[in-house]
Amino acid sequence: MEWTFAGLFVISAFLLIFSILKSTRAAKVEHNQIDLIHISTMKEINSLQESIRNLELDNVVLMKEAGVQLTSEEIVLKREVLDLFSRNYSLESIAEMKQVSVSDIDKIVAPYQELKDEGRKVANEN
């Protein structure tokens, strides 16, 4: 009976060591997979950041070529107003949100509003 206990103890110790080695290997494989995913994600982020930088530079070049002199606050205001307008907010509600006059909002939106109305006219002519 003592030999049986000793044998079971040796077998359990062997199984414990085997289990630890196997889990260590699995952890290393999992860690390598996580590293690969992290690297690919960082590459995508860097690519997106480079694309954003290129778009910003293109925007600056176009503004210089067109002779448009806008401050960063004016650019942000126009962007936000056009975003709200494209989501079908009324001019009055946009003016209230941005705390500017309706006529200023109308001036910002006017070039884009005409394009929108022309599309409707063409669609209604058929």
What integer best gives the mean pLDDT of the chain? 87
Residue 71 is given by DSSP the state -
Residue 126 is given by DSSP the state -
Read off the pLDDT band of 68 (50, 70, 90).
Answer: confident
Phi, psi values for residue 51, rounded to 5°: -65, -40
Read off the pLDDT band of 96 (50, 70, 90).
Answer: very high
pTM score of the predicted model: 0.53
pLDDT, residue 119, reads: 53
Nearest to 100 by CA among 78, 121, 122: 78
CB atoms within 10 A of CB 99: 6
**How many whole angstroms separate alpha carbon 121 and alpha carbon 126?**
9
Contacts of 109 (CB under 8 A, 6+ apart): 81, 82, 85, 91, 94
The amino acid occupying position 111 is P
Q: For 3-12, 20-29, 45-54, 55-64, which range has the lowest pLDDT when averaged over its residues? A: 55-64
CB atoms within 10 A of CB 81: 23
Domain boundaries, the chain: 1-69, 70-126
